[in-house]
Amino acid sequence: MTNPSSGVPRYTGLIDRYRDRLPLQPGTRAVSLGEGDTPLIQLTDIPLLRDREVLLYVKYEGLNPTASFKDRGMTVAVTKAVEDGSRAVICASTGNTSASAAAYAARAGMTAFVLIPEGKIALGKLAQAMMHGALVIQIKGNFDAGMALVKKIADEAPVTLVNSVNPYRLQGQKTAAFEIIEQLGDVPDYHCLPVGNAGNITAHWIGYCEYSCAPGDETTDACAYCQGNCALLADKVVADRPKMLGYQATGAAPFLRGEMLDHPETIATAIRIGRPQSWDQAWSASRESQGWFDELTDDEILVAQKLLAEGEGIFCEPASAISVAGAMRDIERGKIEPGSRVVCTLTGHGLKDPDTAIQQSTAPITVEAEMDAVNEVILQNMK
């Protein structure tokens, strides 16, 4: 649809935008909330980046309709569920998947069942799932326990599993890589992501491989991911792929330990995961791209979150900030070379987790509602 006054087509979501690269029937109506098309913002206030001549961009996925990257996968997964005649969706979640599943199920007129770890999801995410009318089941266990349960339930009951083990989720999420290439006009040298269940790093790698694959490339590993989608285009979009860097919280870092963990713990509750479902795929992305995994402490995560909010005006949730924390450390250490172009995904909006934000910020000052009192505080605090 085109805007009559400007002639510019109205953006109607990523299925309409990338339908030729998504595994949906041609006539299927998209269940969409206008997701995708998020900004790629260059960071400009960090001296280290100037010193090293590194261009660091953040892909602000918190600006999706439910304020996280999950909407990219959910629009495709729920559209496909409707196409298949399903009437209910189910997921386990650390919060964002449940918020997104609840919203897209509401949009499609479906029932959503969501399993969340009791007391371990950020308040905004819980409010979203409840407000969209999902049946919220709190379990006395963590995300990994919930995941094991929903996989069994979806095997036996007529409900569609919309965690990232659902391949349509990854197909939707791969479009973030397409957008980055289009926004930059090229591939970045490095792409930094938080890693929890490991679906998103896998999805980005699929996207980058697809845009660097062309008919005739059948023997390359990029082709193994593009599943013939390259044949839709005469030429590859870009020649290269970035190195994929995956960052985990120290208390929840199975990729660093080299094995699954039973008791993950971190303030970044979105990535409080010990048994990532896309384990093999994430290792492949890391190996094939010549990237790496690394870990950061909760303190380092919060420092980066604050730096982005205060220094750049960009509010993301703690789990998202780990991508910037990791990139900055690797730039400082020279692992990311001077002159590189780096993209960090900010996976979720900071408003999701108001408790953590308020705890680490200066408390508001309370004064009488009088000019003198307010003026005095202003004068004392002028920068």
Q: Using CB under 6 A as the criterion, which residues of the chain lie in contact with ligand F0G when the complex forms? A: 68, 70, 93-97, 164, 194-200, 270-271, 317, 319-320, 347-348
Closer of 142 and 347 to ligand F0G (Cβ): 347
CB of 320 to ligand F0G, least distance (A): 5
Task: Please tell me the distance from the alpha carbon of residue 163 to that of residue 143, in angstroms, as a whole number.
Answer: 11
Of 191, 182, 175, nearest to 16 (Cα)? 175
CB 103 within 8 A of CB 89: no
Task: Please tell me the distance from the alpha carbon of residue 23 to that of residue 326, in angstroms, as a whole number.
Answer: 34
How many angstroms separate the Cα of 73 from the Cα of each of 69, 162, 204, 340, 343?
A: 8, 9, 12, 29, 20
Task: Please tell me the distance from the alpha carbon of residue 337 to that of residue 329, in angstroms, as a whole number.
Answer: 12
Closer of 46 and 162 to ligand F0G (Cβ): 162
CB of 363 to ligand F0G, least distance (A): 26
CB of 246 to ligand F0G, least distance (A): 8
CB of 328 to ligand F0G, least distance (A): 18
The single residue listed with the structure tokens 């009951």 is 157
CB of 49 to ligand F0G, least distance (A): 23
Closer of 28 and 250 to ligand F0G (Cβ): 250
Closer of 176 and 270 to ligand F0G (Cβ): 270
Task: Please tell me the distance from the alpha carbon of residue 224 to that of residue 206, in angstroms, as a whole number.
Answer: 9
Closer of 223 and 353 to ligand F0G (Cβ): 353
CB of 191 to ligand F0G, least distance (A): 13
Burial class (CB in 10 A: 0-12, 13-18, 19+), 380: exposed
How many angstroms separate the Cα of 116 from the Cα of each of 14, 21, 95, 263, 319?
A: 28, 32, 7, 16, 17
Closer of 115 and 223 to ligand F0G (Cβ): 115
Closer of 236 and 248 to ligand F0G (Cβ): 248
Amino acid code (one letter) for 136: V
CB of 88 to ligand F0G, least distance (A): 18
Helix/strand/coil for 293: strand
